[in-house]
């Protein structure tokens, strides 16, 4: 079995931001030479997430509004007693989750017709990373 590991680094301009990282994941798979297997894409921070969905701006706005409705930015989170002010970002990360696994078939990501891989940042404006690990034959 072969494997390849690469890291993507981000420093978003906004507190919450959604970045389509499908091209970067595709490039890792291409360089790996893996024809059949899977690729793990995982945010390495507890206030970020990775998900697969449509690359449509209205949907991205809907996802952001949904997350903000469930875990609004506000004072009063118990986590803030530690001196942090990002309790909502931790909760949003739990809702989106921190990783996805995508099949590799014929040397390419085996995504549905509208599926794209996204990095979701909930506590931005500082340096964070994602690990991409392709595994297979």
pLDDT confidence of residue 59? 97
Q: Which portions of the chain are predicted below pLDDT 70?
A: none
- In the chain, what are the domains? 2-136 (2.60.120.460)
Give the whole-angstrom CA distance, residue 123 versus residue 86: 7
What local confidence, expressed as pLDDT, does residue 98 receive? Answer: 97
Give the per-residue pLDDT at 126. 92
Rg, C-alpha atoms of the chain = 16
Residue 84 is predicted with a pLDDT of: 93
User: Chain centroid to CA 96: how far?
Assistant: 8
Q: What is the pLDDT of residue 57?
A: 95
What pLDDT does 131 receive?
98
pTM over 0.85: yes
DSSP states along 25-80: HHHHHHHHT--EEEEEEEE-STTEEEEEEE--HHHHHHHHHHHHHHS---S--GGG
Q: What is the pLDDT of residue 9?
A: 97
């Amino acid at each position: 079995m072969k494997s390849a590991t690469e890291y993507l680094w981000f420093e978003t301009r906004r507190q919450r931001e959604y970045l389509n990282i499908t091209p970067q994941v595709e490039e890792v798979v291409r360089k790996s030479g893996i024809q059949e297997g899977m690729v793990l894409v995982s945010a390495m921070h507890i206030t970020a997430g990775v998900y697969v969905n449509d690359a449509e701006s209205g949907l991205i706005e809907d996802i952001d509004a949904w997350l903000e409705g469930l875990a609004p930015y506000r004072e009063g989170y118990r986590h803030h007693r530690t001196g942090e002010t990002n309790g909502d970002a931790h909760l949003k990360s739990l809702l989106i989750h921190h990783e996805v696994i995508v099949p590799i078939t014929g040397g390419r990501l085996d995504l549905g017709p509208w599926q794209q891989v996204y990095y979701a940042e909930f506590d931005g404006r500082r340096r964070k990373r994602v690990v991409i690990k392709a595994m297979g034959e």
